[in-house]
Amino acid sequence: MPAALGPSNYGKSRVRLFRVTRDGERHDVADLTVDVAFEGKYRDVHLQGDNAAVLPTDTMRNTVYALAKQHPVTPVEGFGRALAEHFLGATEECDRVRIRIATHGWERIAVGGRPHRHSFVRGSGERRMAYVFADRDSVRFEAGIEDLEVLKTTQSAFEGYIKDRYTTLPETRDRIFATIVSARWKYASAPADFDAAFAAVRTAMLETFAEHESKSVQQTLYAMGAAALDAAPEIPEIRLSLPNRHHLLFDIGRFGLENRNEVFVPTPEPFGLIEATVVRTE
Amino acid sequence: MPAALGPSNYGKSRVRLFRVTRDGERHDVADLTVDVAFEGKYRDVHLQGDNAAVLPTDTMRNTVYALAKQHPVTPVEGFGRALAEHFLGATEECDRVRIRIATHGWERIAVGGRPHRHSFVRGSGERRMAYVFADRDSVRFEAGIEDLEVLKTTQSAFEGYIKDRYTTLPETRDRIFATIVSARWKYASAPADFDAAFAAVRTAMLETFAEHESKSVQQTLYAMGAAALDAAPEIPEIRLSLPNRHHLLFDIGRFGLENRNEVFVPTPEPFGLIEATVVRTE
Amino acid sequence: MPAALGPSNYGKSRVRLFRVTRDGERHDVADLTVDVAFEGKYRDVHLQGDNAAVLPTDTMRNTVYALAKQHPVTPVEGFGRALAEHFLGATEECDRVRIRIATHGWERIAVGGRPHRHSFVRGSGERRMAYVFADRDSVRFEAGIEDLEVLKTTQSAFEGYIKDRYTTLPETRDRIFATIVSARWKYASAPADFDAAFAAVRTAMLETFAEHESKSVQQTLYAMGAAALDAAPEIPEIRLSLPNRHHLLFDIGRFGLENRNEVFVPTPEPFGLIEATVVRTE
Amino acid sequence: MPAALGPSNYGKSRVRLFRVTRDGERHDVADLTVDVAFEGKYRDVHLQGDNAAVLPTDTMRNTVYALAKQHPVTPVEGFGRALAEHFLGATEECDRVRIRIATHGWERIAVGGRPHRHSFVRGSGERRMAYVFADRDSVRFEAGIEDLEVLKTTQSAFEGYIKDRYTTLPETRDRIFATIVSARWKYASAPADFDAAFAAVRTAMLETFAEHESKSVQQTLYAMGAAALDAAPEIPEIRLSLPNRHHLLFDIGRFGLENRNEVFVPTPEPFGLIEATVVRTE
């Protein structure tokens, strides 16, 4: 058959790990979803059905739990690195390991106004993401945010665009801007404090979104990306993906009522999708 | 045909309403999902295809937006009542209106440590629920919470249960207790302040969950329900539905490691499901 | 505390069972999701934390798999009955068992035009539902369908309804009628062949939907329910829930084009929701 | 600020289109989800908030519906091409258009054993995918399948793999192999019949999955990809992504019962994930 194997990878996805760290009566929790992927010399696996080079994905799963006992799981980038290095040591045929870790948020329940020592309530759907890429020569880190949902009720305009025969959208100087931020950035070098770097990027993006006098989603996206680069010197580039979750003015003029940007219909689909990378220049 | 019409209802579901209230530069938002259902004299609609008695569900939708301009939408119970009373006035054949309103949470973005005047970030998936049941003689209110996800890492035991030939679960004095609270309660009379009543019930349930020395999900459920009744005198009964989202100890003993309640696997299914009503006595 | 326990139940939900039956080289599969719920004398469990009466939900789960080895799992109603009777025998405190079984569809892959002996492709999202309610005196069966999505492109009208100040919907003699059928019916007595009874009801509903000259969702719902009663004499009543998944005509008239019921926008929300019970009258 | 714009794109996602074609009483339907993305000279949009080069995503949406009236929507690749060419003609600043079209399946309802002329029931969740990439010099096509869920109950083994200290998986010569096929392939040139090419690839993959004596998911993936290349000479390469949806043998040996590959637990997570590209050689 005139066929050959191109790029391939295999691994285990959605390994759910909940790690409790007890400091006396005070407990800390880390709620993680870990994905592991290997790339390497797997031609015979695919073509011959020879599994001699295969570390089973079930073993990958077991290893995540075993290492979660033996290593700190936060910062998650460090845990990802420990996993990657373990796997590179466990099998010769694997040339490159990718670890992806999503962190799900929990906040302490307030009891009598004070954060409880061991009881928690789920935070928003926002997830902190960490990515580790390791081979036998190097390790590289990326980070990101998924499902950070934000909205501003004013200081968002959209005017001066192309009109053609299929254009019906009215120009506006005041609309709702609602989006669900996905961001992913590279670290040129490992930051001294991964948690601080993440927090700085997140804060920069949120504050920029809140304060920006937006002329378009595109412009605000760029401002958010540039602010992230300003906030964390280790980041050479950041990619943002901003769906424009349209909140439509409902036409109550038909009923003799005036809608002064008060009554909106949030719509799930279709949505605009604006994506761009912002890169640091020297 | 030997058939007849039994109980019936019709209406519009998932009317999404986003209401902005502007107080100068400070904006408040209400993000609601409204369901409307009518019961009434609709036999000919079903049997004859005679629509003379039908207020279209599309009109119900329009009305939600029109009234959102003309009435306050918070407290949501008041908005629901306005909707119900409008609909009872709009059609003779409708005998009973049910309004269900879910409130989706938004929090102000902190900029420089201060809540922003018009920019928001999505809260958790928890939803406050309001239910209004109205006919031409009376109006009745219920309220609830959905998807309030909580977890405690200790002070939860499960011992002393029945063992049979299919039992493999080990007894434990210390396990994770994770659940997603659904609660729904009745108001014997409309509270003076619906928002305060809701907050009191929510706080009572959360604090009880956090502090309870749990011998079972059942026992904690009852304690949470009783605390809710204590917190809000207008409530004659409350029903709670608590899925037991099992966090399994991962067996790292096979690898010569000891799991001191540190490494868990959160599992989506199957789940225990504990449901009960707690009622006020005299 | 002036509180008491009202109605309660507990059990295990979403027990996933995949059962393979091998008849030589030909394999049959049953892909089921089983929910188990107990009602009974559980006051001390809730109030005292005394678990002496509790058969753990983990044991319920184990029992589903153990009995799936020892009993046929189809017809699912028979399997549900075996489960219920086992549980009533396993614990004195349980007064009533409810079993709910969803069947997920698989079809044989066609190879060279012939159904394969052991390879399958997932069918639609439609699920056959079975419900068994058992106490020590009796057993009762219900059945149903969930997520049966259907659509007709014509022979659906909606005219002659109430118009008020908030009405904007135009009357129509020709629209798309799209819905996702949920149906649930009782069996007055156990049918001789549960699978045949289910198939008869399903076919009656589908054929009626296809052929009906619909003047409203309400009228078609009633016709479908009446046809189901006609098709299966064991059924005293059936409840149908039909969301009206609106397919809106897109306004291309603005572009000088005529939309002769050709170009539609399927919308996920809001949706009409029409629900009714059709009952047999001898 | 030391920042610059890297790669960017913008467009409209999830434009839902339902197109009815009437041939007398017989109606055909196409249920599509269309995504549009532009790449081009959008630096000033991002950096200056100058929208002069922006065709609004709302206009993209309108255009999808307008062209669905004026052009056939099947084969979807042709419709995608018409959209792409329109957009390239509508704006100078756009250099490259990407169109992605998902087709959702509907089957005719059988009435009295015959396919109905205008009534349909939803098929499986499987989606046919089409991708068109166009600039002013060329147009390029890709196609794919998403969510094609398949399962075989035997002729799947997994043996001879690496064992280390964290390995607990037993070797097996007979297991369930369940996966959800995602495939995507390129066309070196537009096939004479896009629908036939798609059908040939789909059949080749399904039949290979059904018949393959699998030594691993990797080996079967490769065989499926090679069969696809065999079936359609226009395809230079195909990428497959196969999650291994584990069906675990439930341990009923603890209850004195023997599980002869009969009683399984389907698990949603974690899952193996096997991905590879198969390329045509000369």
Amino acid A203: pLDDT: 98
Q: Percent of chain C scored above 90 by pLDDT? A: 99
Amino acid D2: pLDDT: 80
Mean pLDDT of A31-37: 98
pTM: 0.97
Contact D103, D128 (CB under 8 A): yes
pLDDT band at C1 (very low <50, low <70, confident <90, very high): low
Q: Percent of chain B scored above 70 by pLDDT? A: 100
Contact C82, C66 (CB under 8 A): no
**C-alpha separations of A20 from A251, B74, B172, B240 in Å:** 52, 40, 17, 27
- Which residues on chain C place their C-beta less than 8 Å from a C-beta of chain A? 165-166, 168, 254-255, 268-269
Mean pLDDT of C191-206: 98
Q: Which residues contact B199 (CB under 8 A, 6 or more apart)?
A: none
pLDDT band at C2 (very low <50, low <70, confident <90, very high): confident
Distance CA D106, CA D103 (A): 9
pLDDT band at D144 (very low <50, low <70, confident <90, very high): very high
Interaxial angle between packed helices B57-70 and B76-90, expressed in degrees from 0 to 180 and rounded to the nearest 10: 130
Distance CA B40, CA B94 (A): 4
Across chain A, mean pLDDT equals 97
Residues constituting chain A:
282
Structure confidence by residue, pLDDT tens digits, A137-173: 999 999 999 999 999 999 999 999 999 999 999 999 9
Q: Helices marked H in D91-161 — which ranges?
A: none
Closest chain A CA to residue D3: A280
∠A214-A220-A224 over CA atoms, to 5°? 140
B120/A151 Cβ within 8 A: yes
Structure confidence by residue, pLDDT tens digits, D15-61: 999 999 999 999 999 999 999 999 999 999 999 999 999 999 999 99
D91/A45 Cβ within 8 A: no
Nearest to C197 by CA among C234, C146, C149: C234
The burial of B200, by beta-carbon neighbours within 10 Å (0-12 exposed, 13-18 middle, 19 or more buried), is given as: buried
Contact A129, A102 (CB under 8 A): yes
Question: What amino acid occupies position B92?
Answer: E
Which residues of C form the catalytic set? 12, 57, 246
Q: Percent of chain A scored above 90 by pLDDT? A: 99
DSSP state letter for C158:
B
Q: Percent of chain A scored above 70 by pLDDT? A: 99
Q: 């467009």: which residue's tokens?
A: D11
B268/D269 Cβ within 8 A: yes
Question: Which of B173, B274, B279, B282 best tests the C interface by mutation, with the highest count of C CBs <10 A?
Answer: B274
Neighbours of A254 (CB within 10 A): 13
Using a CB-CB cut-off of 8 Å, the residues of chain B touching C273 are 10-13, 35, 37, 57
Which residues of B form the catalytic set? 12, 57, 246
Using a CB-CB cut-off of 8 Å, the residues of chain D touching C66 are 252, 255, 257
Q: What is the DSSP string of D207-256?
A: HHHHH--BS-HHHHHHHHHHHHHHH-TT-SEEEEEEEE--EEEP--GGGT
C277/B5 Cβ within 8 A: yes
Closest in C15, C216, C278 to B49, CB measured: C216
Amino acid A2: pLDDT: 81
Amino acid C282: pLDDT: 74
Query: Among A27, A33, A57, A59, which one carries the catalytic annotation?
Result: A57
Structure confidence by residue, pLDDT tens digits, D180-203: 999 999 999 999 999 999 999 999
Beta strands C3-23 and C26-40 are antiparallel
B90/C162 Cβ within 8 A: yes
Mean pLDDT of A52-59: 98
A167/D273 Cβ within 8 A: no
Interaxial angle between packed helices A76-90 and A57-70, expressed in degrees from 0 to 180 and rounded to the nearest 10: 130
Using a CB-CB cut-off of 8 Å, the residues of chain D touching C116 are 210-211
Q: DSSP 3-state assignment of A203?
A: helix
Structure confidence by residue, pLDDT tens digits, C48-97: 999 999 999 999 999 999 999 999 999 999 999 999 999 999 999 999 99
Structure confidence by residue, pLDDT tens digits, B200-236: 999 999 999 999 999 999 999 999 999 999 999 999 9
Residue A64 main-chain phi, psi, to 5 deg? -55, -45
Question: What amino acid occupies position C245?
Answer: R
Closest in C168, C254, C268 to A254, CB measured: C168
Distance CA C178, CA B240 (A): 35
Q: Is the pLDDT of residue D1 over 70?
A: no
Which residues of D form the catalytic set? 12, 57, 246
Amino acid D100: pLDDT: 98
Nearest to B265 by CA among B253, B255, B250: B250
Contact B63, B103 (CB under 8 A): no
DSSP state letter for B156:
B
Closest in D2, D9, D166 to A280, CB measured: D2
Nearest to B18 by CA among B68, B82, B62: B68
**C-alpha separations of A177 from A114, A143, B123, D245 in Å:** 35, 25, 17, 39
- Which residues on chain D place their C-beta less than 8 Å from a C-beta of chain B? 165-166, 168, 254-255, 268-269
Contact B87, B55 (CB under 8 A): yes
Q: Is the pLDDT of residue B1 over 60?
A: no
Question: How far does C116 lie from chain B, in Å, by closest CA?
Answer: 31
